[in-house]
Amino acid sequence: MPQLLTIIGLFAFFLLIGYAKREYLIGLCLLFAPAYVLRLEINPFPLLGRLPTTLLEILLLALFVLSLPRCMATIKPAHLARTIKQPEVLLPLALLSIASLQLWVSPDRLAALGIFRAYFLEPILFYLIIKEECSQPQTYRLIRIALLGSMLWVSLLGIAQYLFGFGLQEAVTGSDRSRILSIFNTPNALGLYLGPLIAYFLPSLLSTRPGRPQQSTLPAHEAAFSWTAAGVSLLAVVLSLSRGAWLGLVAAIIVCMLIMHGKKAILPLLVSLTLCIVALLLFVPRFQNFFTPTGNPRDLFGDNSANVRVAIWQRTVHMLGDAPLTGAGLAGFQTVYARYDVPGHEEIPLYPHNIFLNLWSELGLTGLLLFTVLIAYFACRSWMIWKTNAQKEPERTTLGFLLFITALVVHGLLDVPYFKNDLSLIFWTIFGIQASIFRMQAPAGNSSTRL
């Protein structure tokens, strides 16, 4: 009963905020996206058992309730038909349909329903709201500040852990430093959240650096806030010792420099990469023993984390080879994976730590292909806008989208960059901003609603 009253009270409070100004509720959803770790439970139906929810889901539910009347008032059959035919709407809805079908494939349909709700239904509904609302400059600015604010408070919490020694993940070996977690359960989750967002804001940061005020459309205080949030976040990523996040950010920086400077950037990038690799191998314990033989003939690397991932990937490929069309179904990976002779000393992972294997397992082969088409479509259109559009802020936002995708996919080769409440929401938020830019670019000569 106390938790139910807490949920009702929070829901009513968020409704009041949204009723006063709905854009504030959108900002709160993004500012507190990592607060999905704050969980509550209710038991309205004893036969179903306890039903979990999170602070983030209560925020989203309040936003959806307030958005429903406006949505119903603007929907007309002819307009709806035209809207659904747009790839920016058709592709997400098709992905949502495939996810719903994968519910029936899952060996645990109740758990699959939770995955469907948290990782597909709610984020895609939020995407549709962002797509419509972000055309207003004040809403875009609010979203931008909320994303930077979430990066800042999450990073400051992690840095405080490092400085004062609380809540750290214990070192795996004697040569490793303890790793910061912030609000999350693992250090890698911190890197997964911050890395792509730092990459997303990189072009905007470069335009506001000292000596180039003429290229900035941001007030001085917002530019200072952006640099502070990005700098603190970068420090948090370093202290998390998440090598996947480091790799994703390096890939995003390389892509940014090549796009902005072309061939002139190749030599400086090669020199910088060489120096970075040498420094990592000499001074960072998690890299020093990476290629040192362990004595175990099954180990490919001298790093336990890398060896475990390779073993998971090999076993997952075998598993998916037995059911290539359907995969394991939503929330089915652990159950199906456990049938494939997992050694007793290995923990059964929640996901296979690879974005393509993740998607294949959860959504089947069709879902994997559709997700790839979605990313490719948005990336191609973004590239065309970057090449042809003379507007400053859309250019930076569009280039930021390409860097976001680069960091996410590269890090996703080693980890789980989508299947978390906060990551799926941020993913669809960035795509919603980009879909809004696509819509604003369509009417030629109409610059009044541009970002």
Chain segment 21-80, per-residue pLDDT in tens? 889 999 999 999 998 888 877 665 555 556 778 889 999 999 999 988 777 666 666 666
In a domain, residue 448? The reply is no
Read off the pLDDT of each residue in 258-281 and give the average, rounded to a whole number.
79
pLDDT score at 405: 96
Domain presence at residue 152: yes
Question: Is there a single domain that holds both residue 9 and residue 143?
Answer: no
Report yes or no on 347 lying in a domain. Answer: yes
Do 325 and 412 fall within a single domain? yes
Query: Is residue 446 in a domain?
Result: no
Query: What tens digit of pLDDT does each residue of 316-325 get?
Result: 999 999 999 9
- Domain with 21, as residue range(s), is 1-75
pLDDT digits (tens, 9 = 90+) for 300-333: 555 667 777 888 898 999 999 999 999 999 999 9
116 and 21, same structural domain? no
**Residues 46 and 175 both lie in one domain:** no
Mind listing the pLDDT tens digit for each residue in 370-400?
999 999 999 999 988 888 764 555 556 889 9
Q: 450 lies in a domain?
A: no
Does residue 48 fall inside a structural domain?
A: yes
Are residue 387 and residue 270 in the same domain, yes or no? yes
Q: Give pLDDT tens digits for 220-257.
A: 888 889 999 999 999 999 999 888 999 999 999 999 88
The reply to whether 8 and 128 lie within a common domain is no
User: Could you tell me if 174 and 48 lie in one domain?
Assistant: no
In a domain, 378, yes or no: yes
Q: Are residues 386 and 262 in the same domain?
A: yes
- 154 inside domain: yes
Which of 55, 75, 95 marks a domain boundary? Answer: 75
Residues 134 and 190 in one domain: yes
> pLDDT-based confidence at 445, cuts 50/70/90?
very low
- Residues 380, 301 within the same domain: yes
In terms of domains, do 200 and 280 share one? yes
- One domain, residues 203 and 316: yes
Mean pLDDT calculated for residue range 171-175: 40
Domain boundary among 49, 75, 101: 75
Task: Report the domain count for the chain.
Answer: 2
Give the 3-state secondary structure of the chain: CHHHHHHHHHHHHHHHHHHHCHHHHHHHHHHCHHHHHCEEEECCCHHHCCEEEEHHHHHHHHHHHHHHHHHHHHCCHHHHHHHHHCHHHHHHHHHHHHHHHHCCCCCCHHHHHHHHHHHHHHHHHHHHHHHHHCCCHHHHHHHHHHHHHHHHHHHHHHHHHHHHCCCCECCCCCCCCCECCCCCCCHHHHHHHHHHHHHHHHHHHHHCCCCCHHHCCCCHHHHHHHHHHHHHHHHHHHHHCCHHHHHHHHHHHHHHHHHHHHHHHHHHHHHHHHHHHHHHHHHCHHHHCCCCCCCCCCCCCCCHHHHHHHHHHHHHHHHHHHCCCCCCCCCCHHHHHCCCCCCCCCCCCCCCCCHHHHHHHHHHHHHHHHHHHHHHHHHHHHHHHHHHCCCHHHHHHHHHHHHHHHHHHHHHCCCCCCCCHHHHHHHHHHHHHHHHHHHHHCCCCCCCCCC
Select from 75, 103, 138 the last residue of a domain: 75
